Structure 1
Amino acid sequence: MPVAIQAQDFSKSQCAAGLRTALNILDKWKASSEQACQILRISRSTYTRAKQRDSEWAVGLDFDQMQRISLVLNIHAALRLVFDNPENVYGFPSMENRNEFFNGRAPLDIMAQGDMISLYETFRRIDALRGAQW
């Protein structure tokens, strides 16, 4: 019987590693610190600590925060499959998009609304671009 992974199944150092990875991706997408905090549902102080190079730093994250990190990582993976060049892989999230769902807004702006539905729907739309490439 499959067992669902819960946030408590991750150590604080694993949570910190995931958070730092997601923040590195968001930096490459040109997300502001405010956008990153909204997308990942973290405080400004957690953001600041995660950006420091303290290898001993660790943080406990809840299930929602871990899901958000996972979605950012999966959006990044989908973009890497869809686009061959780094300019599009890292530029696409901040580009205006005329697709019906985005209506002229950048995917990053949709994700930064802060709710899980906006983040998930952005992932779904970007993931759909890759077709059957998995």
Structure 2
Amino acid sequence: MAAVLQAQAFTKDQCATGLKAAVNILERWQATTDQACNILRISRSTHARAKSGDASWSVSLDPDQMQRISFVLNIHAALRLIFDNPENVYGFAAMANHNEFFNGRSPLEIMAQGDMISLYESFRRIDSLRGAQW
């Protein structure tokens, strides 16, 4: 039974694909390299390799890093449902937000603090804007 409860292992190729997608989204959100590295909990060299576009590159990531990638991808999906125009889909994360949680800071600033709670709470608040559109 314990083996069934273990976290799903991802292949190096799955990790690389998810990481490349998340890095591309973060770049479109205007995240700096440091912000992206903090959000995804990766090194600058891993970030650079993910951005390089090398199709043969692969990487091993731990469950925490994969969860962070999942949050970025799900925030992006929510933004695509909320907004029709690319300026808002890709610009929202960098915009100052006066919602009580963000308190004038951008979602990107909050997520870039690097802790999982900040990333999760940013996701939760952005996801709630879609108003059950799934």
TM-score by length of 1: 0.94
* Residue 34 (structure 1) aligned with residue 66 (structure 2): no
Q: How many residues align?
A: 132
Of stretches 49-58 and 68-77 in structure 1, the one that deviates more from structure 2 is 49-58
CA distance in 2, matches of 1:125, 1:6: 26
Identity %: 72
Q: Which amino acid aligns with 2:23?
A: L
SS for the counterpart of 2:47 is: helix
What is the alpha-carbon root mean square deviation over aligned residues? 1.4
Return the TM-score normalized by structure 2. Answer: 0.94
Once the 2 structures are TM-superposed, how far is the Cα of residue 14 of structure 1 from its aligned partner? Answer: 0.7
What is the CA distance between 1:5 and its match in structure 2?
7.1
> Distance between the aligned counterparts of 1:19 and 1:111, measured in 2?
16
State the SS of the aligned residue for 1:79.
helix
SS in 1 for 2:24: helix
Question: Does residue 59 in structure 1 map to residue 56 in structure 2?
Answer: no
Offset at residue 4 of structure 1 (A): 5.6
Instruction: Report the Cα offset of residue 48 of structure 1.
Output: 1.1
Correspondence 1:113 to 2:113: yes
* TM-superposition CA deviations, 1:72-124 (whole Å, max 9, x none): 00000000011111100000000000000000000000000000000000000
In structure 2, the residue matched to 1:79 is 79
Moved over 6 A (4+): none
Where do 5+ consecutive residues of structure 2 fail to align? Answer: none
- Report deviation, 1:47: 0.6
Aligned to 1:132: 132
How do 1:39-54 residues align onto structure 2 when only pairs under 5 Å count?
Answer: 39-54=39-54
